[in-house]
């Protein structure tokens, strides 16, 4: 067993990493060994002190030793590759299909990582799975989307991972809730596990915008605002659900300044036992990685001087928008007073429908996206109704 006890102190008090403006830094580690668990093979900080990009790739499921070896040999020399992923336990949404090989797959990972000098990772959802990973020297695991959504399960995993020295990736919850995502990361920190990264794999929605899981990039931006410095990887395989969407999503991830990728790669994707439609070949993956920049971060990327005046103009427009919104809510309060005096209900559905229709026509004439405009207007209207209701209650 390799036990890493990580603490972060400021003036003698334990604090969350993002309270210091970023994850990592100020971490001290104590390593000692025990006879009960094997030395985790790649026991080094995978995500702390990392270089960009962090590349993780491999099959959705480990199907055989031969398949795992073939994909490992095809990926081992790809630029920036940090880890090979492979599904060991694969409970499906509905029973009846292949659900993973379990411990035999871990034994193959252990054998190959010693032979090839490559780190491996897999998903864990139960404490006994963590124990098996440690017994086979697996140094990195990830918490899946369904598990992240369940604080009870996350707490149990944190207890099992405490002191293990294992690096952990946390996929976003299936539901669009940044608090659950942050909560899982914070629970890991409270358990002394600071070598962590987040993985964006999209969110399950009634309308998934043509994807398997809606990307909802704005939620990733919110996560990064709440946890600056936290490495965030993009999983285009689960977002897209189709291999033809993987490359475009990787391009988007690059433009969104993600720290790396987690991609499902199979030597023969059409023959894959699980999620065949979203896996790509090693050759296609190598081409994607070659298009990614080197060891740079969003914070160190040079900024064009031409951006400064344009950003200044955006700041000016934003200030005007804030002033106009404040003025609009002031008018809503005046309207509330009139409605209260005249006995008129706050919500006027016919008036709102007419206003929305007219504004959408204006937006179309101005070249604004109708869906964005509708969402924005509905939020403004909802706030206006709230202001009027509060005014009426005063």
CATH number at residue 371: 1.20.59.10
Whether 299 maps to a domain, the answer reads no
Beta carbons of 280 and 263 less than 8 angstroms apart: yes
pLDDT in tens, 191-229: 999 899 999 999 998 887 789 999 999 999 999 999 988
Do 329 and 286 belong together in one domain? no
- Based on the domain organization, do 266 and 379 belong to the same domain? no
Examine the domain organization and report whether 280 and 368 are in the same domain: no
Asked if residue 266 and residue 170 are part of one domain, the reply reads: yes
Q: Residue 324 domain-assigned?
A: yes
Residue showing tokens 């969104």? 256
Q: Is residue 297 part of a domain?
A: no
Would the pLDDT of 83 be above 70? yes
Check whether residue 10 and residue 77 sit in a common domain: yes
pTM of the predicted structure, to 2 decimals = 0.77
| One domain, residues 260 and 387 | no
298 found inside a domain: no
Two tokens, residue 36: 């009960």
Give the end of a domain, one of 259, 290, 321.
Answer: 290
Tokens of 39: 């030395």
C-alpha to C-alpha distance for 345 and 318, rounded to whole angstroms: 33
**Which residues pair with residue 3 across a beta bridge?**
32
Query: Does 328 reside within a domain?
Result: yes
Please determine, for residue 287, whether its predicted confidence score (pLDDT) is greater than 60: yes
Within this chain, do residues 218 and 101 fall inside the same structural domain, yes or no?
Answer: yes
Same-domain check for residues 243 and 387:
no
Domain boundary among 224, 255, 290: 290
Our count of domains for the chain comes to 2
> Long-range contacts made by residues 356-363, C-beta under 8 angstroms, separation at least 24?
356/381
What range defines the domain where residue 384 resides? Answer: 308-393
Q: Specify whether 71 is located in the same domain as 148.
A: yes
> Residue 8: which pLDDT band, with cuts at 50, 70 and 90?
very low
Once rounded to an integer, what is the mean pLDDT over residues 38-63? 73
Give the whole-angstrom CA distance, residue 379 versus residue 318.
17
> 3-state DSSP call for residue 352?
helix
Query: CA 296, 29, 187: angle at the middle one, nearest 5?
Result: 80
Q: Is 342 a member of any domain?
A: yes
Whole-Å CA distances, 324 to 21, 318, 364: 33, 10, 21
pLDDT at 305 over 50: yes
Q: Give the DSSP letter string of 243-280.
A: HHHHHHHHHHHHHTT-SEEEEEB-SSGGG-SS-GGG-B
pLDDT tens track for 321-354: 999 999 999 999 999 999 999 999 999 999 999 9
Residues 104 and 239 in one domain: yes
């Amino acid at each position: 067993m390799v036990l890493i006890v990580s603490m972060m102190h400021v003036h003698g008090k334990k604090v969350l990493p993002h309270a210091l403006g970023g994850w990592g830094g100020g971490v001290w580690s104590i390593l000692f060994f025990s006879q009960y668990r094997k030395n985790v093979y790649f026991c080094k900080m995978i995500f702390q002190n990392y270089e960009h990009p962090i590349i993780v790739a491999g099959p959705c499921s480990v199907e055989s030793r031969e398949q795992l070896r073939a994909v490992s040999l095809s990926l081992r020399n790809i630029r920036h590759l940090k880890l090979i992923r492979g599904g060991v336990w694969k409970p499906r949404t509905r029973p009846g299909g292949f659900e993973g090989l379990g411990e035999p797959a871990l034994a193959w990972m252990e054998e190959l990582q010693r032979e090839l000098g490559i780190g491996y990772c897999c998903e864990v959802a139960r404490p006994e799975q963590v124990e098996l990973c440690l017994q086979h020297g697996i140094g990195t695991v990830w918490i899946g989307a369904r598990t992240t959504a369940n604080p009870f399960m996350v707490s149990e995993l944190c207890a099992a991972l405490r002191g293990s020295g294992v690096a952990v990736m946390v996929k976003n919850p299936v539901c669009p809730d940044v608090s659950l995502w942050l909560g899982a990361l914070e629970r890991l920190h409270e358990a002394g596990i600071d070598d962590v990264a987040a993985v964006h794999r999209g969110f399950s929605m009634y309308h998934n915008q043509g994807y398997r899981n809606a990307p909802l990039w704005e939620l990733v931006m919110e996560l990064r605002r709440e946890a600056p410095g936290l490495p965030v990887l993009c999983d285009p395989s689960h977002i897209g659900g189709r291999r033809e969407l993987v490359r475009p999503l990787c391009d988007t991830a690059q433009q969104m300044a993600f720290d790396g990728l987690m991609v499902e790669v199979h030597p023969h994707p059409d023959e894959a036992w699980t999620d065949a439609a979203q896996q790509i070949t090693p050759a296609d993956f190598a081409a994607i990685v070659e298009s990614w920049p080197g060891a740079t971060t969003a914070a160190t990327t040079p900024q064009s001087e031409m951006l400064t005046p344009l950003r200044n103009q955006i700041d000016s427009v934003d200030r005007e928008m804030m002033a106009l919104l404040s003025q609009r809510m002031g008018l809503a309060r005046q309207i509330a007073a009139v409605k209260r005096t005249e006995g008129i209900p706050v919500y006027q559905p016919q008036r709102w429908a007419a206003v929305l229709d007219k504004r959408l026509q204006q937006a179309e004439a101005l070249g604004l996206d109708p869906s964005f405009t509708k969402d924005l207007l509905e939020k403004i209207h909802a706030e206006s109704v709230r202001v009027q209701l509060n005014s009426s209650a005063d």
